[in-house]
Amino acid sequence: MFRYQPPIIQIVSDSNFRHRLHEPLGDVRQPWIDIALECNVTEFEAKALFTLGLMRRYVLSANEILRGLRHRGVPFAYAMLSSSIELLGRCIHPNDEYRQHSEKHSTHRLKSGLQFIRNSANLQDVILSTNHVSYTEKDLINLRNLAVHGACISSPGSIKADIELLHELRRLIFGTPIGEQDAIGQQGPIEGAGDRSKCDLLASSAISPLHFLQLHNGQWPFAQQLINDIKSEIERNLKADRPPISGGHRKQVDYFELT
């Protein structure tokens, strides 16, 4: 499923960096080996599938929020989407410390993810544009701060959003679904950034499989279910010649286009 599968790196080479970040966390490689054996995949595949599955679930969770709350759910749906973008940034950021730190540098990772999903047709400092507003990296970070912790580090006047923002973000992250046209009239499914995300640096990204998170009295092991679910989704989509992560999403169950 993944042609390039580098070995999972438990620590980076710098001894001070290792001591500062990883010794308190314990073994970060063995849980992936254990999960891989349970799911009948390689340890790299386990980590990659878990990460891609999380990105996808963030988007689908945002969709469910909008289905239930519509306009009232916009801040909370945006929080889910920004989490997906930050996770993407953790996987691709070239700086070892930003990619591996468990507590700091979330904004750096969010910036990296935003630059990856950025619409290249926009001006250099603009990530995306709707019919009403153009959003820079700073605009989207300020809105994330509002959505996740009340914007305590952003001035009120610096926060903006409009009714089309979430729909445009969904297009960038999750592509254009079956039954919808993109901005130039092409029919979905059309890939999004999640379908294009590279796994070159994933092996050394600090991502935990949540091996001990057992929901519903242990009847729903989180990591295993997530890995098996996204693996099946990718296989179905590739068999149907659709984008691997987002290809099965359909317009009739999409609620990002608010009116």
Domain coordinates in residue numbering, the chain? 15-253
| Bond from prior residue into 6 cis (ω within 30 degrees of 0) | no
CA–CA separation, 7 and 43 (whole Å): 8
Which pTM was predicted? 0.89
pLDDT digits (tens), the chain, 259 positions: 787 788 887 655 455 555 555 455 556 678 888 899 999 999 999 999 999 999 999 999 999 999 999 999 999 999 999 999 999 999 898 888 888 877 788 899 999 999 999 988 887 789 999 998 999 999 999 999 888 877 566 666 678 889 999 999 999 999 999 999 988 889 999 999 999 887 778 888 888 776 555 555 666 678 888 999 999 999 999 999 999 999 999 999 999 999 8
User: Which ranges of 70-164 does DSSP label H, i.e. alpha helix?
Assistant: 74-92, 96-100, 106-117, 137-149
Cβ proximity of 53 and 235 under 8 Å? no
CA–CA separation, 106 and 90 (whole Å): 8
